[in-house]
Amino acid sequence: MLTETEPHYRQPLLRTRFHERMRAYSQVDSFIPWSGYSTVDVFTSVEQEYFAIRNSASLYDLTPMVKYRVAGPQATRYLDRLLTRSVAKLSPGKVAYAIWCDDRGQLIDDGTVFRIAESEYRLCTAERQLDWLLDSSIGFDVEITEVTADIAALALQGPCSCSVLRAMGLQGVEVLAPFEFKHFVFGAGTAALVSRTGFTGDLGYELWVDPSEAERLWDGLMDAGRVRTIRPVGSRALNIARLEAGFLMPNVDFVSSAHTLRNGTARSALEFGLGWLVDFGKGHFTGRRALLEESRRKPLRRLAGLDVAGTKPAHNALLYSDRAGRRQIGSVTSAAWSPTCKRNLALAMLDAPHFDMGRQVWAEIYVNRELVWQRRMVPARVVERPFFAPARRRATPAGDF
Partner 1 sequence: MSACRYDCIVVGGGHNGLTCAAYLARAGRSVLVLEAQEAVGGAARTREFAPGFRVSACAHLLHLMPGWLSRELDLPRHGLRMAAERMPTFALSAAAGVLRIDPRTHGAPAGLSGVDARAYPRYAARMNRLAAALSALLEAVPPRLGTGAWRDRLTLLRLGARLRFIGRRDLREALRIGGMCVQDLLDEHFESPLLKGALAFDAVLGTNYGPRSPGTVFTLLYRMAAGTASAHAVAQPAGGLGALCEALAAAARSAGATIRTGVPVASIVLRDDRAAGVRLETGEEFEAGCIISNADPATTFLDLLGAEHLDTGFVRRVAHLRTRGMTAKLHLALERPPRFAGLEDASPGRIVLAPSPESIECAFNHAKYGEFSTLPALEVLVPSAADPTLAPHGKHVLSAVVQYAPYRLAAGWTEHRHQFLDAILALLEAHAPGLRDSVCAAELLTPQDIETQFRIRGGHWHHAELALDQFFMVRPVPGAAQYRAPVHGLYLCGAGCHPGGGVMGVAGRNAAREVLREAA
User: Applying CB under 8 A, what is the total number of residues that bind partner 1?
Assistant: 17
Assign residue 139 a region: left if phi > 0, alpha if psi is -120 to 50, beta otherwise? left
Closer residue to partner 1, CB minimum distance, 4 or 131: 131
Classify residue 231 by burial, with Cβ atoms within 10 Å: 0-12, 13-18, 19+. buried
Q: Does 269 bind partner 1 (CB under 8 A)?
A: no
State the minimum distance, in angstroms, from the CB of residue 292 to partner 1: 8
All residues at 6 or more sequence positions from 321 whose CB lies less than 8 Å from its CB, including other chains: 327, 329, 354, 361, 362
Q: Does 132 bind partner 1 (CB under 8 A)?
A: yes
All residues at 6 or more sequence positions from 229 whose CB lies less than 8 Å from its CB, including other chains: 52, 56, 57
Closer residue to partner 1, CB minimum distance, 114 or 140: 140
Q: Does 278 bind partner 1 (CB under 8 A)?
A: no
State the minimum distance, in angstroms, from the CB of residue 265 to partner 1: 16
Question: Which DSSP category does 323 fall into?
Answer: T
Number of neighbouring beta carbons within 10 Å of residue 311: 9
Q: Does 58 bind partner 1 (CB under 8 A)?
A: no
State the minimum distance, in angstroms, from the CB of residue 138 to partner 1: 5
Edge-first strand order for the sheet with 95-101 is 95-101, 107-117, 120-125, 66-71, 143-146
State the minimum distance, in angstroms, from the CB of residue 36 to partner 1: 24
Closer residue to partner 1, CB minimum distance, 292 or 341: 292
Q: Does 82 bind partner 1 (CB under 8 A)?
A: yes
Q: Does 12 bind partner 1 (CB under 8 A)?
A: no
Strands (E) located in 176-277? 181-186, 190-195, 204-209, 231-232
CA distance from start to end of the chain: 41
Question: Which DSSP category does 267 fall into?
Answer: -
State the minimum distance, in angstroms, from the CB of residue 77 to partner 1: 6
Q: What phi and psi, each to the nearest 5 degrees, are found at residue 243? A: -70, -40
Q: Does 284 bind partner 1 (CB under 8 A)?
A: yes
State the minimum distance, in angstroms, from the CB of residue 135 to partner 1: 4
Write each residue from 83 to 122 as x if it is in contact with partner 1 (CB under 8 A), else as -, in one continuous string. Answer: -------------------xx-------------------
State the minimum distance, in angstroms, from the CB of residue 275 to partner 1: 18
Q: Does 81 bind partner 1 (CB under 8 A)?
A: yes
How does strand 95-101 pair with strand 120-125? unpaired
Closer residue to partner 1, CB minimum distance, 293 or 384: 293
Among positions 24, 138, 371, 391, the unique one binding partner 1 when judged by CB under 8 A: 138
CB 231 within 8 A of CB 36: no
Number of neighbouring beta carbons within 10 Å of residue 164: 27
State the minimum distance, in angstroms, from the CB of residue 69 to partner 1: 19
Closer residue to partner 1, CB minimum distance, 16 or 129: 129
Interface residue list for partner 1 (CB under 8 A): 77, 81-82, 102-103, 132, 135-136, 138-140, 283-284, 286-289
